[in-house]
Amino acid sequence: MNLNTHAAAQPRRLDQALRRQLEPHVPSDQSDPADPSDALPRPAIDGKVAPRVSSNAAKVSHLSAFSSRLFPMFRLFLLAAGALVALGPFLWMLLTALSPAEQMYAYPPRWPWPLQWSNFIEVWRAAPFGRFFLNTAVVTSAVVVLRVSVSTLCAFALARLRFRGSEWLLFLLLLGVLVPGELRLAPSFVLLRALGWLDTYAGLIVPRIENPLLVLLLRQFFLTLPRDLEDAARLDGCGALRVLWHVVVPLSKPVLALAALMTFQALWNDFTWPLLMTSSTEMKPLQVGLALLSDQHRHTQLNLLMAATVMSVAPVLLVFYAAQRWFLPNLAWSGLR
């Protein structure tokens, strides 16, 4: 019976095969019939015929390739325009600092010539800038070291140690961040006057050590560090301070460098607190000294003011350039950990 069924099915199969050969060919893919590329033979890959690519798909691929080349050029153009806008004030400051006095208010503006490098020597002699730089360097260096050290200890204690009242201490730090610094100027001034710290290095350094925002920043970073390394160090007999120094600090170099750089920039350009705390010229920092020079030469020698400003900005740029050479690679490494 199976043989009879098989024999009866063979004529039907032959009939269906002949009918498919006589019918017009309809392509399986939805390509454009007017596309001349459809008439071309398609190559075979691994014994299989490759699908046809229509002209619309080719146009889309060319458009995407063009956009992939255009968008990076557009981004570079935007970055170059932003760099020119950002560097414009610095370029104007530098050119003004090198301008002769008779070309200061020339119209239309032109390139200063000859370049007056002697303006820097003259402004250095016009005010005790050596003393101003020394005061600023001493105060800034001391505050950077003490602030980063104290903030690191406080942040490690809040992140890793469990003691009574740690939650309330964290809440007080949050409140300290919310209080503006201007509200603490008058109480701090009264307290330091009672201590006899007016017009002293102690009055300029000690009140600037605390920074609740920096403590919170370091605490949040310490919470992201794996505890396995700390547990291994404790198994080797390390205490809390040794764990902090040998494990946590090496892993936190990027954020510590960023904290030190931010503190240096803020303290180098600080003006309000040193203005309140200092009264003698020997204790005034750089920004207060620039204000004194501005009062003397505001309407007469603008080139000297710009020369003094260039000298005050140069150390910040040099420190940032020196610091980024190692803390930016560390940031990239920490992102790949």
| pLDDT computed for residue 26 by the predictor | 45
Would the pLDDT of 35 be above 60?
A: no
pLDDT at 140: 94
pLDDT given for residue 25 in this prediction = 47
Query: Is the pTM for the entire model greater than 0.85?
Result: no
Residue 142: the pLDDT is: 95
> What band does 136 get if pLDDT is binned at 50, 70 and 90?
very high
Domain ranges of the chain: 118-335
Specify the residue for token string 């003698």.
280
- What string of DSSP letters covers 226-287? -HHHHHHHHHTT--HHHHIIIIIHHHTHHHHHHHHHHHHHHHHT--HHHHHH--SGGG--HH
pLDDT tier, 10 (very low <50, low <70, confident <90, very high otherwise): low
CA distance 35 to 327: 58
Q: Measured between alpha carbons, how far is 177 from 197 in angstroms, rounded to an integer?
A: 25
Among 31-40, 272-281, 316-325, which range has the highest average pLDDT? Answer: 272-281
d(C-alpha 218, C-alpha 159), whole Å: 9
CATH architecture of 118-335: Orthogonal Bundle (1.10)
254 or 137, higher pLDDT: 137
Cα distance between residue 152 and residue 219, in whole Å: 8
What DSSP letter does each residue of 110-166 carry, written as one string?
A: ---SS--THHHHHHHHHTTHHHHHHHHHHHHHHHHHHHHHHHHHHHHHHHH---TTH
pLDDT tens per residue across span 47-82: 544 455 455 555 556 666 656 666 777 778 888 888
Amino acid found at 310:
V
